[in-house]
Structure 1
Amino acid sequence: MTRELIYVAVFAALIIALAAVFRVVPGASRRRLRRSVLLFALHLVVVVITSALALSRFDELALGFSLAGELLRVLLMINLAALAVFDLLAPLTRWDFPDILHDLVVGAAYLVAAGWLMHKAGLNLTSIIATSAVVTAVIGLSLQATLGNIVGGLALQVDESFQEGDWLEFENKQQAQVKKVRWRHTVLETRDNDTLIVPNGQLMAQSIKVLGRRDGKPVPHRQWVYFCVDFRFSPADVISVVNQALIAAPITGVVADPGAHCICNDLARENRDGYILYAVRYWIDDLWRNDSTNSDVRERVYSSLKRADIPLAIPAAALFLEQEDSAKAERKLQRDVQSKLRTLDAVELFKSLDAEERRALAQTTRRTPFGRAEVITRQGAQANWLYVLAKGEVEVRVSTSEGDRRVAVLRAPSFFGEMALMTGQPREATVVALTEVECLRIDKADFQGILQRRPAIAERISEILAARRVELDAARGGLDGDEARSHRLSHENLRILNGIREFFGL
């Protein structure tokens, strides 16, 4: 009896110590610890019952409960040893083992312990094994599907066909992420945050694509976005326009290597489509974000094609009839000019122009849309045009030795790139679209005729540009005091005016 009490005390101490350690070990299985606590409770109950029966002179019953207590004690030892090895030592050595391995080791130890105890009790193991074989065959036939799932689970764990966290695609194109491989089934989560419970036997019976994994190692997964353009536009031009937009600025979720690019995927399929099929190929490393990344890529493709005046193809099954005459076309053109004129009227830079000059400018400007996160101008680039921000928001970034930093956020109506247009200087900052943006692009040729007719406008424009530069420098903290600001304003005004006269030949 004293020995049994010692066992109980030792087991209680070990369980309390393991429970304390489990509270600080990340990922430790409390379910397994609860199993040990349950075995300990059963062992304690059997010890108490055995003691009571022994005191009551029920020797045969006491012997039976004594054997049961010994079996529970051995099982509890096995469980505590498994906790120490698999839940404490394995994390310390960074050994990532499958759950089924733990269950197999513990189950085998249970069988060995049971056989040893039966042999110790004087039972004939040969006859028991022969009888068990017949019973096992009957049970195997009746539980064939269940056993098939269990064997499938063992195979999946042993050969590591896929691992927890992998994305799978089934024959029906359903995609899901592996969360847990259990004895009978595998737990999967879909993109809709639904949980799939798939029997392991079904997984073994079909072809499964493991996404984003090659030679057992994770690799970026390739995605496709398709679009169509009709035959009026050269594939080389379409591919060039889209590729320039793809590399101009990073797209969230798209990896840099391999780089995203556009290809001509097919001409008229089955001789019935009236357009060329293109595709953007790109790679992602976070499969949860594929929908939002696809959307960002489509937005980039759409805005780049629209800037290049390349429309997406109209479906071949659709037929549009519209009576077009010169009067209707003129009305449409005038509406567009009026819209551009309202934007120019709201910008301070053009207030020195009279109504006719602004209208002439509105007639020659062209609309240039940009998608969110696209680079509109890049610091150091040579480009002799100005952008008038008609819709949306942009941020102005400057690259320094300490890295890129934001210096301003512009909201419509506004303008940027004025120094490149008026003086021919390289871009002094990078401008990136924060939202979907529409700009009016004014080239040097559009402005040159106005300045040639009225050179005095250059003086007013230089004053506006000088004031804007001085305000920006003051906001950065580069100017202190009114006197320094006044001196800088005068200097910038003269420098810009001379630059305008030289660039436009005034």
Structure 2
Amino acid sequence: MVFWQTAIQYFWRDESLVVFISVLLLSFWLIYFIKDDRKSVTNTLIFFAACQVIALLSGLVHAMNYTFAAALFHEAAVIGSGIAIIRLCGLMAFRIILPSVRLQPPRITEDIFVIIAYLAWCLVRLSYAGLDLGSIVATSAMITAVVAFSMQDTLGNILGGLALQLDNSIEIGDWIKVDDLVGRVVDIRWRSTLVETRNWETVVFPNSQLMKNKFLVLGRRSGHPSQWRRCIWFNVGLNTTPRQVTRAVEETISQADISNVAKSPAPNCVLMEIDKGVARYALRYWLTDMALDDPTDAAVRWHVYTSLERAGIPLAVEMQNIHYVKENEKYEGAIHQREAQQRLKTLKNVELFANMTNDELIALAERLKYAQFAKGNIISRQGAVAHWLYIIINGEAEVYLETPDGGRRTVNVLGRGSFFGEMGMMTGAPRSASVIATTDVECYRLDKEAFAGIMQARPGLADEITHILIERRVQLDSVLHHLDEQTRRQEKSSQRNELLVNIKRFFGL
């Protein structure tokens, strides 16, 4: 009976009840609130229980009069119990208290504080045991230098992991690209960072490698949601204008409901290059879920294909071979006839040529030249001298005046069937206004040389054209200067003779 009393008295100290109650309360609180780390709490409780078994063993050894062994076992149990309590307090502070006040320090910060507390606790207990801490520190300095030299790579990885988390270079859940490998960060440890790829592979990157080399964090932009720009590439023949392609594709993609495709920024289609006989386009869209890149690409690619098919725009392949096509005279004649009919139809709708005969229009149609302008091109510059006019067959253009202060004043918007530059072709006068393509524009261009033969064959045509030109000029002046009806008549009368003389002199009539 005396043996057990001695053992229990040595095992159960005055502070034991407080320690047991504290450990139980901390454990219950942690298990209730942090369900994801219950395993860690359970392991800590098992470690604490093992320490108490060692403490009980120290009491039994003390009862058998093995004083030194009992003291050794007891000190080990105290140090172990303290480590368990520090671990539980660390979990309470970093997993419950700090998050409750909206502070979420990196996991590695928790580990550092806990390890420092472990070392401090062990040094305190060793000092109670009678060890000289000064000699331990002096000796440990040399040992630390040797260990640091022999463990350079390991220490580099540890410090790299600390830096990655403290400066928020990457966070758990980020998608990163290292060389050709893309994956999601699932854990940042002391030595390495774990990245899971879409192929169900886990890649282990040493932290020092991430610190020394460049890597991309996908989908991250300050102040914006997480989304990553992707490109869908396709080729179209050069006989189709970029405006037709981009309009067909963008209208379809913007109206379609495609999973994981962001509405803002809106998808856009751009002409990237012209090479090997084809125009290469890219539809650029923003992916909202980095894990579903290939399925989303496939869905968007199908939408692009169907939109082009509906618009009658075939996909093209890069020209790799030489094709020989033998076309007979009948085929070439049919092509020429179809184009001539289109040109003749265009000329008949132009007011300037309203008084010309069918034969004259046919002769004129043969001399038309096709001209194409991209959106934003200046088709005609105010003050420039150019002896030709343009007839718009597709697209829109803006007519504007350049003001002395460098601004611009819109005069008119021209569409299909409109023409401009007639004064330059008929009189050689400088352009009175500038014209800019507000969309992609297709035109026919008619030079003075092409018109000169008809004018010389029928000089009376000059008088008829003069009447039309005067009407257009006075109409424009009326819009610009708000002329009344009487002033308009006076303008027509005063300008008619002068304009007719200029036309005849220009064409040598």
- Please state which band the TM-score falls in when normalised by the shorter chain: 0.5 to 0.7
CA–CA distance in 2 between the matches of 1:192 and 1:35?
33
Distance 1:122 1:11, change over 3 A: closer
The reply on whether 1:257 has 2:260 as its aligned counterpart is no
The 5 Å alignment of 1:430-445 reads none
* Counterpart residue number, 2:110: 102
Please point out which of 167, 174, 198 is paired with 2:175. 167
CA–CA distance in 2 between the matches of 1:25 and 1:93?
15
The 5 Å alignment of 1:199-214 reads 199-214=206-221
Structure 1: 5+ residue runs without aligned partners?
326-506
Kindly state the Cα deviation for residue 322 of structure 1 after the two structures are TM-superposed.
8.3
* Counterpart residue number, 1:247: 254
* Counterpart residue number, 2:204: 197
The reply on whether 1:224 has 2:231 as its aligned counterpart is yes
Structure 1 counterpart of 2:207, one-letter code: N
The 5 Å alignment of 1:55-94 reads 55-94=63-102
Distance 1:69 1:185, change over 3 A: same
The reply on whether 1:186 has 2:186 as its aligned counterpart is no
* Counterpart residue number, 1:129: 137
TM-score (norm 2): 0.59
Contact 2:86/2:117, CA 8 A, preserved across alignment: yes
CA–CA distance in 2 between the matches of 1:304 and 1:245?
6
Kindly state the Cα deviation for residue 96 of structure 1 after the two structures are TM-superposed.
2.4
* Counterpart residue number, 1:474: none
Distance 1:158 1:229, change over 3 A: same
* Counterpart residue number, 1:343: none
RMSD: 2.5
* Counterpart residue number, 2:47: 39
Kindly state the Cα deviation for residue 141 of structure 1 after the two structures are TM-superposed.
2.0
Contact 1:32/1:83, CA 8 A, preserved across alignment: no
Please point out which of 266, 270, 275 is paired with 2:278. 275
Structure 2 counterpart of 1:207, one-letter code: K
Structure 2: 5+ residue runs without aligned partners?
1-7, 329-509
* Counterpart residue number, 2:307: 304
Distance 1:120 1:11, change over 3 A: closer
Contact 1:168/1:177, CA 8 A, preserved across alignment: yes
Deviations 1:252-302 (A, max 9, x none): 21111110111111122xxxx111111111112211121111111111111
Deviations 1:214-236 (A, max 9, x none): 23864421111111112111111
Kindly state the Cα deviation for residue 320 of structure 1 after the two structures are TM-superposed.
6.3
Kindly state the Cα deviation for residue 173 of structure 1 after the two structures are TM-superposed.
2.3
Contact 2:31/2:41, CA 8 A, preserved across alignment: no
Kindly state the Cα deviation for residue 133 of structure 1 after the two structures are TM-superposed.
1.5
CA–CA distance in 1 between the matches of 2:207 and 2:12?
45
The reply on whether 1:317 has 2:325 as its aligned counterpart is no
Deviations 1:55-113 (A, max 9, x none): 11111222222322222232222122113222332443443232211111110001111
Contact 2:59/2:70, CA 8 A, preserved across alignment: yes
Contact 1:29/1:87, CA 8 A, preserved across alignment: no
* Counterpart residue number, 1:114: 122
Contact 1:251/1:296, CA 8 A, preserved across alignment: yes
Distance 1:245 1:324, change over 3 A: farther
CA–CA distance in 1 between the matches of 2:327 and 2:17?
98
How many residue pairs end up in the alignment?
321
Contact 2:87/2:114, CA 8 A, preserved across alignment: yes
Contact 2:259/2:296, CA 8 A, preserved across alignment: yes
Kindly state the Cα deviation for residue 194 of structure 1 after the two structures are TM-superposed.
1.2
Deviations 1:288-337 (A, max 9, x none): 12111111111111111111111111221256678999xxxxxxxxxxxx
CA–CA distance in 2 between the matches of 1:238 and 1:275?
13
Deviations 1:343-378 (A, max 9, x none): xxxxxxxxxxxxxxxxxxxxxxxxxxxxxxxxxxxx
Distance 1:300 1:146, change over 3 A: same
Distance 1:33 1:3, change over 3 A: farther
Structure with the greater alpha carbon radius of gyration: 2
Distance 1:118 1:15, change over 3 A: closer
CA–CA distance in 2 between the matches of 1:26 and 1:36?
14
The 5 Å alignment of 1:336-375 reads none
Distance 1:19 1:127, change over 3 A: closer
Deviations 1:129-157 (A, max 9, x none): 11112122222222221111111111111
Distance 1:278 1:34, change over 3 A: same
CA–CA distance in 2 between the matches of 1:257 and 1:38?
53
Q: Percent identity?
A: 33
Kindly state the Cα deviation for residue 18 of structure 1 after the two structures are TM-superposed.
4.5
Kindly state the Cα deviation for residue 184 of structure 1 after the two structures are TM-superposed.
0.8
Contact 2:231/2:283, CA 8 A, preserved across alignment: yes
* Counterpart residue number, 1:237: 244
CA–CA distance in 1 between the matches of 2:100 and 2:154?
35
Structure 2 counterpart of 1:231, one-letter code: L
Deviations 1:187-243 (A, max 9, x none): 111111211111111111210111111238644211111111121111111111111
Query: Matched residue of 2:12: which SS?
Result: helix
Moved over 6 A (4+): 320-325
CA–CA distance in 2 between the matches of 1:69 and 1:262?
71
Please point out which of 47, 54, 61 is paired with 1:53. 61
TM-score (norm 1): 0.59
* Counterpart residue number, 1:392: none
